[in-house]
Amino acid sequence: MEVAIMIEGQDGLNWPRWQRMAQAVEDLGFVGLYRSDHYTNADPPDKDSLELWVSLTWLASHTRRIEFGPLVSPVSFRQPTMTARVASAVDDLSGGRLTLGLGAGWQEREHHNYSWDLLEIGPRFARFEEGLKIISHLLHSDKPFNFSGDYYQLHEAILLPRPQRPGGPPILIGGRGPQRTLPLVAKYAQEWNAVFIPAARIAELNSLLDRLLEEQGRRPADVRRSLMTEVVFGRDEAEVQRKFQGRDLKEVSQRGIIAGTPAGIVEQLGKLSQVGVQRVMLQWLDQDDLDGLEAFARMVLPQL
């Protein structure tokens, strides 16, 4: 089981916090650092929020080892040819450590506040698939591309310089919907990132994804399986209870949140591994709790 850290970029992220977190994740032995791509939270108050690709460009040139990427970047914010150009360049700058997480968009407040069209669910996913087609072609093919869709039209479009990594950064699609999300994963992605799902449900969706991949002529091993979920970590039971802040333990478990002392977290990660999860991105909500992050690395990672 590979363990990475994920932070909410709209929840107070500024340069000092980002730089401290990147250095800690690099030094402590986590496999990667991921972040969300939002202007702001779904509810006030608004907080500091570093722009995604500027922060990842800094990360690419100021770390040596960790993998990184957006979880996830909505196509509603950026025209897909620009996303492909920026992602390819950042991946090259990092020496091939970027995973390009993409999504359809979901948060109504930021789309309204900053004048982006979120669209209704059907058109939103239709636009998302057009974006996936365009980004995939530009990353994988050196042939000029003509495309006529409902949302994008391209004329002899080509990505130059070509990505140093063949095919460019792998595409990750995040979500848990069996009807819309998983079919798109089977067509376009190299990684499926489940979000807040317990182990039993992941096992069911993994089986469905295997079938969908076979229908596309792909192998189950062609797509890595990962999970993004919150972690509530305590060095002992008393610290865990303080961090729960009265939340119901059953509700936490049903949402797939990983919570407990080191021994309990190792056990929960083991169950996820048994149902096919290869990497977890642990949502570390307190961006200033680097002591807790160090304790997690020291007490949990060696047991995996």
At which residue do the structure tokens 């807790």 appear?
A: 292
Report pLDDT for 19: 98
Report pLDDT for 245: 81
pLDDT per residue over 141-189, tens digit each? 999 999 999 999 999 999 999 999 999 999 999 999 999 999 999 999 9
Residue 231: pLDDT over 80 = yes
Report pLDDT for 253: 80
Residue ranges and CATH numbers for the domains of the chain are: 2-303 (3.20.20.30)
pLDDT per residue over 257-274, tens digit each? 999 999 999 999 999 999
d(CA 225, CA 209): 10
Residue 249: pLDDT over 80 = no
Classified as helix, coil or strand, 203 is helix
Q: Which two tokens stand for residue 275?
A: 């149902």
Residues 6 or more apart whose Cβ sits within 8 Å of residue 185: 173, 192, 209, 212, 223
Residue 246: pLDDT over 80 = no
DSSP H stretches of helix in 8-149: 15-28, 52-62, 80-94, 108-113, 121-140
Per-residue pLDDT, averaged over 30-48, amounts to 98
pLDDT band for 239, please (50, 70, 90 cuts).
very high
Per-residue pLDDT, averaged over 222-247, amounts to 93
